Chain A
């Protein structure tokens, strides 16, 4: 485990892990984890800040009926990431939505089996 990852798992006890460190159930979960690690290392937030934001997110989800079985952990992680990116002025929610829609557009116009690439035309 990298020292950054070790610091993250020490600061965020809820991260699903085994003896060697974090475990992921899907590639995107590892991507979301890696992005948080990188933003932390860039000083965008501290781990205590992150932990508080993640706890809020999980509380909110539970209030809305999330079963809290661990299956949705990285969905909360991703929402926390989006929220902090917006709150810290890195990129607004509007920007994130615009890029999300652009990727969706890119996927829709790409025949399956071809690489999906984001182009200017995907930003409607």
Chain B
């Protein structure tokens, strides 16, 4: 894959990020700098207190020539799977084995995930979209790099890159082909454009040949890309 890398840090709008980090960052740690905006008014973007400080540092260090954004990204990229898609994989595996949970998940993703003790932080508006034999879903953020990182780990660099963001809506089949994913013409492709408030998680189809598998076994098959919609889960017996 040969996506051109662009800088992600100037192009993001992670409102949910602010919410997620408010409890620890601001109340416990930075009373003097905290200034909680009203979250009822969503007509502008927001960054968490911590995000503001990180951006300030990065901008200053870049301007002074101490860091190169591309070099920082190279370091970060090495860890992009390290938050790991494990949380998302467990949610998907549970949905595959527990019809009541799946129903709740598709009705209100954030609420259903909130009932699982092991997932501590998720944005308020996580929408789960289900792949079916008739429809394949993929997720993009055309304007920024909003991403359900609590579920999927750090966003991959290509997700933040201009070619993916701009082409996914216009030519989803072409983009999928670049990922080595071929979706038959008979299957509709639905592209979901994330916003600061609403982020999407794809619920992929359960692979054939997994009857009787446990949730833990199934979770091993769930890849990050399958939850973005740019890939499929692993199939039983395939190398992981």
Residues on A lying within 8 angstroms of B by beta carbon are 1-2, 4-5, 18, 20-28, 30-35, 37-39, 42, 44, 61, 65-67, 71-72, 75, 78, 81-82, 85, 90-91, 95-97, 99-100, 102-104, 107-118
Contact = CB atoms under 8 A, between A and B. Distances in A.
B54 to A, nearest CB: 5
Given A26-B83, A27-B155, A31-B9, 15 more contacts: A18-B82, A26-B20, A33-B75, A38-B72, A38-B75, A78-B57, A82-B53, A90-B61, A91-B61, A99-B59, A113-B13, A113-B144, A113-B195, A115-B11, A115-B144
B82 A103 contact: no
A38 B175 CA distance: 34
A117 to B, nearest CB: 5
B5 to A, nearest CB: 15
Nearest to A72: B24
Contact of B50 (A22, A78, A104): A78
A112 B196 contact: yes
Contacts of A118: 10, 59
Given A27-B154, A113-B144, A66 B28 contact: yes
Interface residues of B, number: 56
* Residue among B10, B13, B37, B54 with max Cβ neighbours from chain A (10 Å): B54
B143 A113 contact: yes
Chain B, interface SS category:
loop
B220 interface: no
A103 B14 CA distance: 13
B164 interface: no
A117 B59 CA distance: 11
9 contacts: A26-B20, A30-B76, A31-B54, A35-B54, A78-B57, A107-B13, A107-B45, A112-B45, A116-B13
Contacts of B51: 28
A22 B82 contact: yes
A35 B9 CA distance: 13
Contacts of B58: 31, 35
Contact of A96 (B44, B57, B75): B57
Contact of A91 (B17, B42, B64): B64
B17 A26 contact: yes
